[in-house]
Amino acid sequence: MPGTYYMPGVNLIHRGALNDAGTWARNLGGHNALIVASTGSYGAQQGQMVAAVLARSGIESTIYAGAGPNPTDEMVMQGVQLYKGSHCDFLVAIGGGSAMDCAKGIGLIVSNGGTIGQYGDGVDQATHDLPPFMAINTTAGTGSEVTSVAVITQAEHHHKTTIMDWRLTPDVSINDPELMLSMPPALTAATGMDALSHAIEAYVSTVATALTDALAHSSIALVFQWLPIAYEQGSNIGAREGMCHAAFLAGLAFNNSGLGYVHALSHPVSGKYGLPHGVVNAVLLPTVMRWNAALAGTKMARIAVAMGAGHPWRTDRENADKAISAVIDLNRRLQMPSGLSKMGVEEADIPQLADAALQELAGTTNPHKAASVEQIQQLYRQSL
Ligand SMILES: [Fe+2]
């Protein structure tokens, strides 16, 4: 169970944590921030909100509301130009995974030069530290505020580059549940099920450790305690705070133990059909859990206990079945689609999707390996 652990040095999770951003910016030695936010008026508003907080600590800033969904290398390069042109000396991301990944890309190029494509092959390709970097999360799910990973699409080839580098890890992460009160139910459900997928995949990963197990187990329990309430009562601050912790713990877990077939099968589907990552994960999760229970039965049984669905007097197999049923029930309560076909996925596309899934790095730590591409195809068919 060898472990090498990556995580931000400072992590704030509490109501009003955004107000501490100025203090931590000063602690990082920043004077002039590039604030990276999502595109559109909503991103601009979030950027202005952060700029106002930083200004109270005497810190100047420039807002770049240019991180679209699936951020591209072009968006990164525009941010790099703005960072340099405005003489910025640190980075603040506000938003979900897209804004944070875009900010990671900007920091990488600002400090190391070159193009995004140069950093996608292999791990830890950067040779210089990024500028000081604070990540402020507004969705409880992706975990990007704590991870050393960024996914950037190369616009010219429509190719997603996954950059894994310990230097991408933010210095400070902020999860403020007050920023999540306005998340609509569908986004709450999708990001929450993404977090649950991270936790379950991290828990049964082939390189899980005592630390990632503890993180993932607690995350699973918190999702089952708080996600239905956050979905049904969006203004419940306690539920939002619970989901902040759940997603944060799951992010730390998978950043250090990898993922599995849920993410390996999900990426080609969301890429081809433009479907929300968390929703595709939610649909695939019961099928992949059933497949993995064959070789990770004891851990799947412990997952049932974390969910509040398992009992010690049952066999591992019985408890694993309870865990799978609990996920199916949660999907139903969150009004997730009952299958991939309901989202427009065509059976004729499955061979192509399965070929792509086998290439996904996320699958390398799945406990039950497919012996052939036909077995991956079968998992897709079982999820239709
Ligand atoms: Fe995910």
Q: Which CATH number belongs to the domain containing residue 379 in this structure? A: 1.20.1090.10
Same domain, 222 and 169: no
Please check whether residue 229 lies inside any domain of the structure.
Answer: yes
Residue pLDDT, tens place only, 50-83: 999 999 999 999 999 999 888 999 999 999 999 9
- For ligand 1, the distance from its centroid to the CA atom of residue 23, given in whole angstroms, is 31
- Residue 31's pLDDT is what? 97
3 state DSSP class of 49 = helix
Same domain, 160 and 269: no
Q: How many distinct structural domains can be found in the chain? A: 2
Cβ(130)–Cβ(137) under 8 Å? Answer: no
Where is the domain boundary, 156, 179, 202? 179
- For ligand 1, the distance from its centroid to the CA atom of residue 54, given in whole angstroms, is 30
Question: How far, in Å, CA of 374 to CA of 350, rounded?
Answer: 10
- For ligand 1, the distance from its centroid to the CA atom of residue 201, given in whole angstroms, is 10
- For ligand 1, the distance from its centroid to the CA atom of residue 69, given in whole angstroms, is 14
Same domain, 167 and 188: no
- For ligand 1, the distance from its centroid to the CA atom of residue 197, given in whole angstroms, is 7
Angle between helices 210-232 and 185-204 (to 10 degrees): 160
Range of the domain at 237: 182-383
Same domain, 216 and 172: no
- For ligand 1, the distance from its centroid to the CA atom of residue 198, given in whole angstroms, is 6
- Residue 41 neighbours by CB under 8 Å, 6+ apart: none
Residue 42: CB atoms within 10 A of its CB come to 14
Please check whether residue 226 lies inside any domain of the structure.
Answer: yes
Nearest to 247 by CA among 97, 26, 74: 97
Same domain, 154 and 211: no
Same domain, 82 and 50: yes
Residue 67 host element (H or E)? strand 60-67
- For ligand 1, the distance from its centroid to the CA atom of residue 199, given in whole angstroms, is 10
3 state DSSP class of 192 = helix
- For ligand 1, the distance from its centroid to the CA atom of residue 280, given in whole angstroms, is 10
- For ligand 1, the distance from its centroid to the CA atom of residue 357, given in whole angstroms, is 15
- For ligand 1, the distance from its centroid to the CA atom of residue 251, given in whole angstroms, is 9
Phi, psi dihedrals of residue 288, rounded to the nearest 5°:
-70, -35
Residue pLDDT, tens place only, 204-237: 999 999 999 999 999 999 999 999 999 999 999 9
- Residue 85's pLDDT is what? 98
- For ligand 1, the distance from its centroid to the CA atom of residue 263, given in whole angstroms, is 6
Where is the domain boundary, 144, 179, 214? 179
Same domain, 188 and 173: no
Same domain, 152 and 257: no
Same domain, 230 and 377: yes
- For ligand 1, the distance from its centroid to the CA atom of residue 192, given in whole angstroms, is 10
Please check whether residue 2 lies inside any domain of the structure.
Answer: no
Please check whether residue 59 lies inside any domain of the structure.
Answer: yes
- How would you write the pLDDT of the chain (384 residues) with one tens digit per residue? 678 898 888 999 999 999 999 999 999 999 999 999 999 899 999 999 999 999 999 999 999 999 988 899 999 999 999 999 999 999 999 999 999 999 999 999 999 999 998 998 678 999 999 999 999 999 978 899 999 999 898 888 777 788 999 999 999 999 999 999 999 999 999 999 999 999 999 999 999 999 999 999 999 999 999 999 999 999 999 999 999 999 999 999 999 999 999 999 998 998 888 888 999 999 999 999 999 999 998 999 999 999 999 998 999 999 999 999 999 999 999 999 999 999 999 999 999 999 999 998 899 999 999 999 999 999 999 999
- For ligand 1, the distance from its centroid to the CA atom of residue 62, given in whole angstroms, is 30
- For ligand 1, the distance from its centroid to the CA atom of residue 146, given in whole angstroms, is 13
- For ligand 1, the distance from its centroid to the CA atom of residue 270, given in whole angstroms, is 11
Where is the domain boundary, 128, 153, 179? 179
Please check whether residue 5 lies inside any domain of the structure.
Answer: no
Same domain, 145 and 210: no
Same domain, 156 and 211: no
Q: Which CATH number belongs to the domain containing residue 39 in this structure? A: 3.40.50.1970
Same domain, 117 and 188: no
- Residue 120's pLDDT is what? 81
Please check whether residue 308 lies inside any domain of the structure.
Answer: yes
Please check whether residue 3 lies inside any domain of the structure.
Answer: no
- For ligand 1, the distance from its centroid to the CA atom of residue 250, given in whole angstroms, is 10
Please check whether residue 1 lies inside any domain of the structure.
Answer: no
